[in-house]
């Protein structure tokens, strides 16, 4: 029977001890891995509290969106109302300015009429009268130029067809030289202010030439 050497005995003893240590470490490591894997692999569950909080947040977001849309609508409505107000006040101001201008110019038109009558009827004879004539005609020209700059322009209705929107017929003259309704003469000058009528022109209008009455015709035949 062979005897074991001390070296071999030490190896077996050491080997047995190493095996036990490795086994122990393996068991310990395995248990640890299983515990760690079990903890890491377990899915997190959403509780009813989390669901309620999420629903509340969603509701708050929807409410904020609705408030934002309402504010945007109000802002757009206020902007549109302000723009309409600005346009309306601007138009009212223009109409008021035009009314004041119209009334002022209308008060000056009789002065222009008097200057024109004086020019038509007064015939200067001497040098002194001619000097006076030129003086007031210079004032008349200055007044007419001022009215032109304000947008006033005279009507020229002679030869045109009578238009009640522009003319006022104050006389009718029977004639066969012009069609009925033709303006024969402007008695009082009419004026425009821009494209609007400032004053209607007083005119004489052509009328059909009347035939001689039968009584007068019979008298003429009897006389012959």
DSSP 8-state symbol, 224: -
Q: What is the tens place of the pLDDT at every residue in 177-212?
A: 889 999 999 999 999 998 899 999 999 999 988 744
Contact present, 110 and 198 (Cβ < 8 Å): no
Considering the domain architecture, whether residues 137 and 161 belong to the same structural domain is answered as: no
Which residue(s) pair with 188 in the sheet?
202
Q: What is the pLDDT of residue 137?
A: 87
Question: How far apart are the two ends of the chain, measured CA to CA in Å?
Answer: 200
- For residue 157, the enclosing domain spans 153-211
Considering the domain architecture, whether residues 181 and 122 belong to the same structural domain is answered as: no
How would you class 9 by CB atoms within 10 Å of its CB: exposed for 0-12, middle for 13-18, buried for 19 or more?
exposed
Rounded (10°) angle between helices 127-149 and 48-121: 170
Considering the domain architecture, whether residues 132 and 195 belong to the same structural domain is answered as: no
Does residue 56 fall inside a structural domain? Answer: no
Q: What is the tens place of the pLDDT at every residue in 162-175?
A: 999 999 999 999 99
- Enter the tokens of residue 147: 């009215």
In terms of Cα–Cα distance, which of 116, 186, 198, 115 is closest to 153?
Answer: 198
Considering the domain architecture, whether residues 110 and 159 belong to the same structural domain is answered as: no
Contact present, 154 and 175 (Cβ < 8 Å): no
Does residue 34 fall inside a structural domain? Answer: no
Considering the domain architecture, whether residues 131 and 161 belong to the same structural domain is answered as: no
Considering the domain architecture, whether residues 96 and 121 belong to the same structural domain is answered as: yes
The last residue of one of the domains, among 150, 170, 203, is: 150
The last residue of one of the domains, among 110, 131, 150, is: 150
Does residue 97 fall inside a structural domain? Answer: yes
The last residue of one of the domains, among 150, 167, 185, is: 150
For residue 12, pLDDT beyond 90: no
Does residue 61 fall inside a structural domain? Answer: no
Does residue 31 fall inside a structural domain? Answer: no
Considering the domain architecture, whether residues 145 and 158 belong to the same structural domain is answered as: no
Does residue 193 fall inside a structural domain? Answer: yes
CATH number of the domain bearing residue 163: 2.30.22.10
Considering the domain architecture, whether residues 107 and 130 belong to the same structural domain is answered as: yes
Confidence of residue 44 (pLDDT cuts 50, 70, 90): low
pTM, rounded to two decimals: 0.57
| Residues near 220 by beta carbon (within 8 Å), at least 6 away in sequence | 212
- Enter the tokens of residue 205: 């209008």
Q: How far is CA 183 from CA 77, 86, 200, 205, in A?
A: 55, 45, 13, 5
Looking up tokens 């309409």, which residue turns up? 84
Considering the domain architecture, whether residues 139 and 74 belong to the same structural domain is answered as: yes
Does residue 176 fall inside a structural domain? Answer: yes
Q: What is the pLDDT of residue 132?
A: 83
Give Cα 50 to chain centroid, integer Å.
54
Considering the domain architecture, whether residues 86 and 145 belong to the same structural domain is answered as: yes
Does residue 132 fall inside a structural domain? Answer: yes
Considering the domain architecture, whether residues 134 and 201 belong to the same structural domain is answered as: no
For residue 19, pLDDT beyond 70: no
Q: What is the pLDDT of residue 40?
A: 46
Please state, rounded to an integer, the average pLDDT across all residues of the chain. 78
Q: Give the span between the Cα atoms of 30 and 63, in whole angstroms.
A: 54
- Enter the tokens of residue 163: 């238009």
Q: Give the span between the Cα atoms of 119 and 122, in whole angstroms.
A: 6
Q: How many domains does the chain have?
A: 2
Question: How many residues appear in the chain?
Answer: 224
Q: Give the span between the Cα atoms of 85 and 97, in whole angstroms.
A: 18
C-alpha torsion 210→215→217→221, nearest 10: 180
Considering the domain architecture, whether residues 80 and 121 belong to the same structural domain is answered as: yes
């Amino acid at each position: 029977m062979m005897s074991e050497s001390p070296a071999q005995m030490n190896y077996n003893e050491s080997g047995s001890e190493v095996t036990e240590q490795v086994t122990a470490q393996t068991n310990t490591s395995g248990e640890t891995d299983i515990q760690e894997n079990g903890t890491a692999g377990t899915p997190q569950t959403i509780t009813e509290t989390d669901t309620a909080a999420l629903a509340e947040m969603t509701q708050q977001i929807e409410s904020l969106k609705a408030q934002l849309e309402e504010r945007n609508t109000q802002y757009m409505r206020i902007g549109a109302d302000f723009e309409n107000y600005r346009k309306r006040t601007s138009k009212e101001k223009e109409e008021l300015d035009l009314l004041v201008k119209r009334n002022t110019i209308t008060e000056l038109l009789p002065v222009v009429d008097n200057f024109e009558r004086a020019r038509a009827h007064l015939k200067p004879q001497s040098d002194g009268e001619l000097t006076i004539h030129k003086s007031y005609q210079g004032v008349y020209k200055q007044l007419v130029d001022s009215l032109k700059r304000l947008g006033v322009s005279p009507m020229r209705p002679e030869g045109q067809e009578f238009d009640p929107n522009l003319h006022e017929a104050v006389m009718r003259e029977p004639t066969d030289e012009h069609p009925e309704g033709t303006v024969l003469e402007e008695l009082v000058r009419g004026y425009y202010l821009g494209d609007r009528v400032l004053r209607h022109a007083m005119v004489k209008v052509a009328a059909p030439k009347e035939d001689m009455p039968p009584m007068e015709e019979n008298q003429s035949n009897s006389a012959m």
